[in-house]
Structure 1
Amino acid sequence: MSKTVLLYFIAAVAATGGLLFGFDTGVINVAMPFIKQKWSLSPQAESWIVSVVLIGGMAGAILSGQLADRLGRKRINVLASLIFVVGSLLTAVAPSPDWLVAGRLLLGLAIGIVSFSVPLYIAEIAPSHIRGRLVTFFQLAITIGILVSYVCGYAFADAVEGWRLMLGAGIAPAILLLAGMFFVPESPRWLVNKGRTDEALAVLNRIHETGNAQTELADISRTVQQEKTRKTDWRELFSSRLRIPLLIGIGIFLIQQFSGINAVIYYSTRIFQLAGFGSGNTAIMATVGVGVINTLSTLVAVRFLDQWGRKPLLYTGLIGTAVSLATISFAFYFKDSLGVDLLRILSVGGVYVYIFFFAISLGPLGWLLISEVYPLRIRGFATSLGSFYHWFFDFWVSFTFPILAATSLGTNGGIFMIYTAVVLLGLLFARYVVFETKGLSLEDIEKKWERP
């Protein structure tokens, strides 16, 4: 196996955590209509079942920073995989809504952990010239997980209590992640930070081109040594010197989530029903299309992110998502005069185009940027904080959407116009805050913050 192939294998194994992320957040979309029917849930109860996973995600994101620094990047992923197994089993056999909420809370905890640990691990393993591509494997795996969850929903829709099969299917990739982590190396940067330089050199020799390992080890060791001369303090993240990385880590997820992505991912079946589709398999099939577009579009980002750079893709994606969100809003506002067929074309087409532009930009760039921009000495805490804000913003979008959808903001498309405004503000964020990291090593990026 060549070293390049090995790197791709390592990234793919770690990215299985992203597949679980996507599956366990997406599967509730197709399972919820059947769960509502079984237990006659109110909109508020529905919101909690969907959104409690995000509360778990916040907790997992906060805990994972210190755990990853103490245990290592590998062992924390092993821990997450075990939690995934337990959570999936609990949701599949839940005898009541309360048990379902408990299981989804556990799944959220595991998702919060991998949302921090997987991008960080891949970024610390990958050489700079393909780091963007490999870290984007995580987002690609999320989209594949969402697609698989939708396909499971369609496949089990007619089964007796098929929603239990939908939720329980997540056990299989959790076991794959658990097994796979025993075949990949530890992060060399974490090993150097723990004084295990011989092991770090062995890892670098295994995964990087001949002759580069010693040079890279020297760069990593120099950075670690410089950082150890300082007292590590999480409050440093809030200093004026690191203001830009902090703004990037919070801002990218604020715009990502308030663009409405997870309102679409979690509730696309509901959106298509509001647009005139039936309440059965037709709406679910249209939702499967969301998963297909999401996955194929993320492949575009994987292919071109390191070639085109972060900022050009971000600009392109923001403009495209704004136009498509405005189209969806227009379709709902004028639905009474458009006719059923045109309403379906504009709503489904708008959602699909929105997913395409999101998947090539805001989707992968959030996880990529927070894994790149922070100094090593606070990278664990800072990345987990960024992940926390992802789940915090995601919670509020996901919790409020079904409630707002039951008001005039849902029926006249006002929700999507709010999301459009946020995306347009994101263009200012991209212009004045985000900087280009294409082709820079993590050590080169860190040098930017060493300047007075």
Structure 2
Amino acid sequence: MAPTHLRGGLNMMFQLATTLGIFIANMVNYGTQKLEPWGWRLSLGLAIVPAIVMTVGGIFLHETPNSLIERGSKEEGRKLLERIKGIENVNAEFQDMLDASEFASAIKHPFRNILERRNRPQLVMAIFMPTFQILTGINSILFYAPVLFQSMGFGGNAALYSFALTGAVLFLSTLISTAIVDKLGRRVLLISDGIIMIICQFGENQELSKGYSVLVVAVICLFVVAFRWSWGPL
């Protein structure tokens, strides 16, 4: 139902909400670390806030016209489409939804059809895109960030510092990606930021001096930004 010029950005809202949640959780952990001995209980307990928001939001979330049509409630689907569009003349779009529903229902053995030669390119992309998303190394970098911060002299708070920094970078870069994806297109972002991530993983294995440590942190942030502009949300 999303307008074409906003579809890419709206599709990223899930990723934006995820990164915002990670950042807020990191800030809560950082803020409650000194509240001994019950700080960790407060940190965990505050998770009830987003849980309540999502539960209440689910109560007020209405159906979509496509979903109603798929379940046989065609007239309800039409009325909802009229309400969403704000006009009564939705004949063309409603008919498209009906045709798509009938076409989907007419397909026999849909899962078996996925393996046919004509559908193989889509199947390969559906498997390889999330696979290469993980193989970019983002999980390794985020996982070892606390170790890096500790080696730079942040002590026992290294994990909190690294999670706070990377969490902020994750959210801000996803916000930027949401704003520009419909202007630049997915292909440009995937290729250009893929190149940036490759460059960020080149480096010399040496003892971490203060200056070199700052450079490494900057490169980690650049890698995270490139990932969240492209392979992360797309």
Output the TM-score relative to the length of structure 1: 0.48
**Counterparts of 1:233 and 1:265, CA distance in 2:** 39
**Equivalences for residues 72-111 of structure 1 within 5 A:** none
State whether structure 2 residue 129 is matched by structure 1 residue 252. yes
Contact 2:32 2:40 in 1 (8 A): yes
- Look up the SS of the partner of 1:238 in the other structure: coil
8 Å Cα contact 1:237/1:246 also seen in 2 = yes
Query: Which residue, out of 57, 61, 78, partners 1:201?
Result: 78
1:182 aligned residue: 59
Kindly indicate whether residue 228 of structure 2 is the aligned counterpart of residue 359 of structure 1. yes
Q: How does 1:395-410 map to 2 (within 5 A)?
A: none
Where does residue 408 of structure 1 map in the other structure?
none
| 8 Å CA contact 1:293, 1:356 repeated in 2 | yes
Does the C-alpha gap of structure 1 residues 188 and 262 become closer, same or farther in structure 2, counting only changes over 3 Å? farther
**Whole-Å Cα distance in 2 between the matches of residues 356 and 292 of structure 1?**
10
Return closer, same or farther for 1:291/1:358 CA change in 2, 3 Å cut-off: same
- Return the offset for 1:283: 4.9
**Shift of residue 264 of structure 1?**
3.2
Q: 1:313 maps to which residue?
A: 189
Q: Which residue of 2 aligns with 1:234?
A: 111
Letter in 2 for 1:189: N
2:62 partner SS: coil
Gaps of 5+ in 1: 1-124, 366-452
Q: Deviations over 1:254-274 (max 9, x none)?
A: 111111222334443233224
Per-residue deviation at 1:184?
Answer: 2.1
Percent identity for Structure 1 against Structure 2: 30
Q: Give the distance between the partners of 2:212 and 2:153, measured in 1 at CA.
A: 10
Unpaired runs of 5+ in structure 2?
Answer: none
Matched with 1:219 is 96
Partner Cα separation in structure 2 for residue 271 and residue 209 of structure 1: 54
Pairs within 5 Å for 1:343-382: 343-365=212-234
Deviation string, structure 1 residues 167-209 (Cα, Å, up to 9, x no partner): 3322211111110112222132222111111222223223236
Q: Count residues in correspondence.
A: 233
Kindly report which structure 2 residues correspond to 1:46-57, keeping only aligned pairs within 5 A, or say none.
none
* Greater Cα radius of gyration, structure 1 or 2: 2
Q: State the shift of 1:232 in Å.
A: 4.1
4+ residue segments displaced more than 4 Å = none
The alpha carbon displacement at 1:130 in A equals 1.5
Alignment correspondent of 1:33: none
Question: Which protein, 1 or 2, shows the higher relative CO under an 8 Å CA cutoff with sep ≥ 6?
Answer: 2
Change in CA separation of 1:203 and 1:161 when aligned onto 2, cut-off 3 Å: same
* Cα distance in 1 for residues equivalent to 2:188 and 2:29: 36
Distance in 2 (CA, whole Å) between partners of 1:357 and 1:180 is 32
CA displacement 1:323-356 (0-9 Å, x = unmatched): 1222xxx25x12x2xx521232122111100111
Q: Aligned in 2, Cα 1:201/1:325: closer, same or farther, shift over 3 Å?
A: farther
**Pairwise CA RMSD:** 2.0
The structure whose residues are more often helix, as a share, is 1
Q: Deviations over 1:374-395 (max 9, x none)?
A: xxxxxxxxxxxxxxxxxxxxxx
